[in-house]
Chains A and B, each alone.
Chain A
Amino acid sequence: MSLTDKKYAKRIEAAFAKYPDKRSAVMPLLYLAQEEYGWVSPEGIHEVAELCGLDPTQVRSIAGFYTMYSEKPKGQYWLHVCTDLACALRGADQFYAELLEDLGIQDGETTADGLFTVEHVMCLGACDRAPMLQCNFHFHENLDRDKMRALIDKWRAEAKQHMKTSGGSERAGD
């Protein structure tokens, strides 16, 4: 499978329709590539380059500049915890330490089952609702350890369910 798959045709077309210059579509298309491959893989880079008429070097450069494109494989659930100043003042560091402890991994690592990749990030614009985390780009706010555990359990169950129904061939969403 790849971005040339029919299921992306409409969204690719929509991305190009927004801008007078094809190059501008590189960011939306990189998100598509990430969705398709689970990360911004070399195939994804080459396909985006081809689509936008850019050199693969330029596309990789863009992918490397922005933090929301992952240039390495990651877990099904990509968790971002804000530990920036405003959140840190409200206990985010401790919250993050607890999350790592519960998952048994270090900052930036992926759980052995491939489910969770965890990173601490800079301010996400939710400072008044700290501690918070973002999972596959969706916000979860006003958390504490219990709420966090409930979320993790929910995602685990969801992934298990998904494995059963899809034969494990596809990635679970959030």
Chain B
Amino acid sequence: MQQQYILLRGREIPDIWKLDVYLKHGGYEALKKALTMKPSEVIDVVKASNLRGRGGAGFPTGVKWSFIPQNEPIKYVVVNADESETGTFKDREIMETNPHQMLEGALIAAWAIQAKAVYIYARGEYWDLTHALDERIKEAAEAGFIGDNILGSGWSCSVYTHLGAGAYICGEESALLESLEGKLGQPRVRPPFPAQKGGGLYGEPTVVNNVETLTNVPWIILNGAEAYQKIGTPQSAGTKIFCVSGHVVKPGNYELPLGVTFRELIFDHAGGIPGGRQIKGILPSGGSGPIVPATDAVLDTPLTYEDMQKINTILGSASIIVIDETVDMTWVAARVTKFFKHESCGKCTPCREGTYWLDKVLDRIMAGEGKPSDVELINNIARNMAGMTLCALGDFAANPIIHTIKNFPEDFYKHVRAEEAKPAAKPAGRGKAREAAPVAGD
């Protein structure tokens, strides 16, 4: 399969981030077209395109927009540019190289729900990027695409950026809204959902969409729902940016139609595994999705929402971390667990305490001080976390444990078996050893 640039158009037209270049290549034509359509017609087109949310959950975008009550006077569009999942760097490339297309998509969404403002919530680490984006917004406003009476339509809409400050949880939409309101970034109780009165930004109905999701929209409006549907599979339409990292020769973003297989992506596009080593496992959705062993069956599975389910994992944000044979999967689980322990917001008991506890036991195992029962223990702790929390972070944090133990039990038991053979206690200070992880660089 060939790369096909609906989103990463900067690869073909390097200066498309500039407004004049973007305009030369059909920029803001979709917005103009949308403004001639009724908002409900715009929603219908997006619904028909089968576009699904690229932020992870894959929820149909048009359906989400249609939940917004029409009679509420104040509504918002919030662009989720928090991108903090390990191994994810796609929204960054979109915003760096093709920012106007994202802005245009957000404006079309705002027109579709008749919002009065768009907020772009970017992770704080995207500091330079966001300041550059402010410039793009200014240019677009000067050109009349943002602000009062946009293109003479009588509809006004502002666009603002908001910088986060280092918190993965703020990618979760309700925590994001809390953070945007100047509160702790902790998830809200749902219902009410963001689309409902009382559930969105400042209590107003709000659409939250991922950067990549919205960047698809101008293309869909210009080329029609049918054309979009033809790309990918019936249930997973369109192209998707796959972020490939870890043990590949050419890490980076690859925009390909949904349905490409792991094998094509990793070997044809990303150059395969360095040093001729064997591929061992794949994390298809950063640290949060269930890990899969790199069997032939898995490698030949098409990357779609539906096919990922069949191999007991998720497409999620499609941040594919490739792990080769030199790596100890217990170390992977431990490293990812550190991430979730660090990023748990602390609101729900199972996640707050569970991540802390898992980390403690994994440290013990990595230090060679684990007991065989510790593997059972962490498996059980993780299972007690899954499905028990307000947001999915609890499940995300459970996945690396549950699925690594399931798919790579040997990697776990070798640590604790080794321990059994040794005499009793260890001298203190061995704990440090865990940091010296068995990493194979390239």
A and B interact: yes
Other-chain contact of A89, B167, B183, B184, B327 (Cβ < 8 Å): B327
Residue among B182, B336, B435, B440 with max Cβ neighbours from chain A (10 Å): B182
- CB neighbours of B183 from chain A (8 A): 23, 62
Is there a chain A Cβ closer than 8 Å to B151's Cβ? no
Q: In residues 61-109 of chain A, which contact B (Cβ within 8 Å)?
A: 61-62, 65-69, 80, 84-86, 88-91, 93-94
Is there a chain B Cβ closer than 8 Å to A138's Cβ? yes
- CB neighbours of B160 from chain A (8 A): 18-19
Other-chain contact of A90, B92, B179, B246 (Cβ < 8 Å): B246
A128 CA / B440 CA spacing, docked (Å): 16
A90 CA / B321 CA spacing, docked (Å): 11
Residue among A20, A67, A84, A139 with max Cβ neighbours from chain B (10 Å): A84
Given the interface pairs A65-B185, A123-B84, A134-B125, the reply to whether A93 lies near B435 with Cβ below 8 Å is yes
Task: Decide if A128 touches B179 in the complex (CB within 8 Å).
Answer: no
Residues in A lying within 8 Å of B, measured CB to CB: 18-21, 23-28, 30-31, 52, 54, 61-62, 65-69, 80, 84-86, 88-91, 93-94, 121-130, 134, 137-139
Task: Decide if B439 touches A86 in the complex (CB within 8 Å).
Answer: no
In the complex, what residue of chain B is closest to A24 when comparing beta carbons?
Answer: B182
A126 CA / B128 CA spacing, docked (Å): 14
- The size of the chain B interface, using a CB distance under 8 A, is 60
- CB neighbours of B202 from chain A (8 A): 20-21
Given the interface pairs A66-B166, A88-B439, A89-B321, the reply to whether A21 lies near B182 with Cβ below 8 Å is yes
Is there a chain A Cβ closer than 8 Å to B57's Cβ? no
Is there a chain A Cβ closer than 8 Å to B180's Cβ? yes
A137 CA / B126 CA spacing, docked (Å): 8
In the complex, what residue of chain B is closest to A29 when comparing beta carbons?
Answer: B182
A85 CA / B183 CA spacing, docked (Å): 29
Given the interface pairs A67-B167, A88-B439, the reply to whether A26 lies near B182 with Cβ below 8 Å is yes
A88 CA / B332 CA spacing, docked (Å): 10
A62 CA / B165 CA spacing, docked (Å): 10
Is there a chain A Cβ closer than 8 Å to B245's Cβ? yes
Task: Decide if A84 touches B184 in the complex (CB within 8 Å).
Answer: no
A48, chain B: closest CB distance, angstroms = 10
A7, chain B: closest CB distance, angstroms = 18
Given A86-B246, A138-B128, 19 more A-B residue pairs with CB atoms under 8 Å apart are A25-B182, A26-B182, A28-B162, A62-B183, A65-B345, A66-B165, A84-B335, A85-B321, A85-B332, A90-B251, A93-B435, A122-B84, A125-B89, A125-B91, A125-B92, A125-B123, A125-B125, A128-B89, A137-B127
Other-chain contact of B89, A52, A91, A126 (Cβ < 8 Å): A126
Given the interface pairs A27-B165, A122-B84, A137-B125, the reply to whether A85 lies near B182 with Cβ below 8 Å is no
A89, chain B: closest CB distance, angstroms = 4
In the complex, what residue of chain A is closest to B327 when comparing beta carbons?
Answer: A89
Task: Decide if A27 touches B128 in the complex (CB within 8 Å).
Answer: no
- CB neighbours of A125 from chain B (8 A): 83-84, 88-89, 91-92, 123, 125-126
- CB neighbours of A30 from chain B (8 A): 165
B262, chain A: closest CB distance, angstroms = 17
In the complex, what residue of chain A is closest to B87 when comparing beta carbons?
Answer: A86
B162, chain A: closest CB distance, angstroms = 7
A86, chain B: closest CB distance, angstroms = 4
- CB neighbours of A18 from chain B (8 A): 160, 162
Task: Decide if A124 touches B125 in the complex (CB within 8 Å).
Answer: yes
B374, chain A: closest CB distance, angstroms = 21
Task: Decide if A86 touches B321 in the complex (CB within 8 Å).
Answer: yes
